[in-house]
Structures are given as C-alpha cells and as structure tokens.
Structure 1
Amino acid sequence: MSVETHVIMDEAAIRRALTRIAHEILEKNKGIEGCVLLGIRSRGVYLAKRLAERLEEIEGMPVTWSELDITLYRDDRSGETEGVKGRQLLAGVDVHGKKVILIDDVLYTGRTIRAAMDAIMDCGRPESIQLAVLADRGHRELPIRPDYIGKNVPTSREEEIEVLLQERDGVDLVRITQKRGDAK
C-alpha cells in the first residue's frame, strides 16, 4: 500500500491565513478587548500562540491565550473522566463573561469542538464561543461551523489532512494524504 500526499498550504500560506484570521477576529469583535484565545492541544496551542502574537502586533496590546486539554471530555474515552473534569483545565485564565476564541488545526466531524465547548463551560460561562480552524475538511457529524477558516479543503473520507507546524514538526505545511492499494 502506498501513500499519496499533496501539499495544500506551505509556510507562507499558513502565515497569510493566520494573518487574515487575526484581522477577521478583530473586525468581528471590534478589537481584542474581552477576548481569550484557547488552543486545543496539541497543534491548536501553537496556532493560538501565533494568532496572539499577530493580534498583539496589530493592536499593540497583549492578548490573553492559553491551551485547552480536552482529553477528559472526549466521547471515545468514557469511564476515565469521572470526577476529574473542571477548572484545572485553564490555570490562570478566566473565561467567565469573555469572548472565547477556540482554535484548532483541522475541523472534521465536530466531536473535538463539542468536547472543547463542554470543557470551557465547566470552567465558567463565557459571553460567546467562536471557532477558528486552519483547515475545514467537512464531513460534520455535529452542527458545528467555524467562524474563521484558514482554508476550506473538501475531502473524501479516505483522505486525511495532516498539519505540520515548526514548533512540533520542524516544518510548516498542510497536506492531504490518501492511502492507495498498490496494483499488482
């Protein structure tokens, strides 16, 4: 079996997408005041940090951001989570009354985002929750729609989108991979 890959975003395209998303966040929220960026572990954290840096460059003021670990909220990990959920997720970051901008690398079925919203609600009651994703590949199982999208990438269910980021992978790129059976 071979794997076919196709790069859909390189370093420059990722940078441009994040800059555009930063401007869209500012426009929608009329600035950054009262906003908190939460990156879903793991690659969403790096994207949140990059967005916070861009927003600070544009607005000239620091932006509150943190990481969000949703492991205990995933619906494919039942039984492991009893009595452990709650406020330990966001040490030092208050979401109550804030405009939370949730950040992830790829939006697919929506289950990760649902888990993230559950985690956020256990930490406080935000004014709103918005969603920013680097790539939206479709195939939703839940009624979740991103507010900010780096790139729409229609895919088949056999394809996967892989996001590689400098901080974790040593390179910035987004690619589609598809396994193909070798002809004999």
Structure 2
Amino acid sequence: MTLDLNKALASMASQLSTYCETHQIEEPIVVGIHSGGVWVAEQLMSAVPTSEPLSTLDITFYRDDFTKAGLNPKVNQTLLPAIEDRHVILVDDVLMSGRTIRAAMNEVFDFGRPASITLAILYDLGQHELPIAADIIGERLTLNTHQRVKLTGPNPLQVSVIETR
C-alpha cells in the first residue's frame, strides 16, 4: 500500500483553514503530540490563523499502559502556554485506539480548561477502542491487523505501512 503524504497534509491544511473560519477560531494554540504529531503540526502551521508558536506535548507519563510498558527512555518536553479559555488544535499522526488522544487531553486539562479542543489527525485507522473522533482527518485507512502506519522525519517527512509480524 502506497500512501500519498503530501495529499493527506494538503487535505488537512484545507480542512483546518475552513474549520477555523467556519467556527470563528482566531489565535488558537496548535499542539503537536511528540513526535509524529509535532512533525505534522509543523506542516500545518501556515493554514492556521495564529501568531502563537507551535506547542508540544509529551504524553509518556499520562499513558494508561505506562505501568506495563515502563519508562520510555526518550521523554520529550511538554511546552504549553496558558490555555485557559483558549482554542486548542491537538495534532497527531495516527488515530488508532484513541488512547494517545485520551492521554493528551488529560495532560492539556492539567494546564487549564480550554475553550475547545479540535482534533486533527493525519491518518485515522478506524480501530477506536474509546469514543474519540477527529474533526480534521488527512486520510482514513483500512489496514489488516498486522499492519501499522510509520511516520519518520522530520526532514524528510515520510510515511510507510509496515508489517508487525
């Protein structure tokens, strides 16, 4: 399976611009989830009506499988401004179970209560275990149980479907 990364990113940028205009969202805080979500968010910043710099979120300590997986040796920094009553655009590369997004929203709320959270996802695999749905989707994919989407980057930003068996 070949994925067209540029087409998915262009679709997201167009949807995001329209979404912000339709919902009258100005000066939102764009938050990328480490690490793929940060890379995707960097590509989308020009489509968002904001002068705020890109914010980043590391959800390592918010994961519900943290005790099973143990400490991830590569912990990144969370950088969020004051988000109280601000619109947040949360960006990630792949939505599969929804557990990463749940963890990200828990961390966002530890920084304050945003006016809204808009979820932007590059690839939605439709294998949700939690009732979480994206507002902006680059592309919906149907993969078999032994396939995963792998985003590498940031320079160059590339995507592939890998076999996990």
Range class of TM-score, shorter chain: 0.7 to 0.9
**Shift in CA distance, 177/38, structure 1 to aligned 2, threshold 3 Å:** same
Amino acid at match of 2:10: R
* CA-atom RMSD in angstroms: 2.4
Distance in 2, Cα, partners of 1:163 & 1:154: 17
Report what 1:3 is aligned to. Answer: none
Structure 1 gap ranges (5+):
1-5, 82-87
TM-score, structure 1 normalization: 0.76
Percent identical residues: 35
Count the aligned residue pairs.
159
* Residue of structure 2 aligned with 1:139, choices 118, 127, 130: 127
User: 1:9: Cα distance to partner?
Assistant: 1.5
Q: Partner of 1:45: helix, strand, or coil?
A: helix
Report what 2:34 is aligned to. Answer: 41
Larger relative contact order (Cα-Cα within 8 Å, sequence gap ≥ 6) = 1
Higher strand share: 1
Quick check: which has more Rg, 1 or 2?
1
Deviations 1:56-94 (A, max 9, x none): xxx5x524420011111011113979xxxxxx8335x11
Report what 1:99 is aligned to. Answer: 87
Q: Return structure 1 stretches of 4+ with deviation > 4 angstroms.
A: none
Distance in 2, Cα, partners of 1:126 & 1:31: 13
**Shift in CA distance, 103/109, structure 1 to aligned 2, threshold 3 Å:** same
TM-score, structure 2 normalization: 0.83
Report what 1:89 is aligned to. Answer: 78
Structure 2 gap ranges (5+):
72-76
Q: How does 1:13-162 map to 2 (within 5 A)?
A: 13-33=7-27, 35-55=28-48, 59=49, 62-78=51-67, 89-91=78-80, 93-162=81-150
Distance in 2, Cα, partners of 1:156 & 1:75: 24
* Residue of structure 2 aligned with 1:7, choices 2, 16, 28: 2
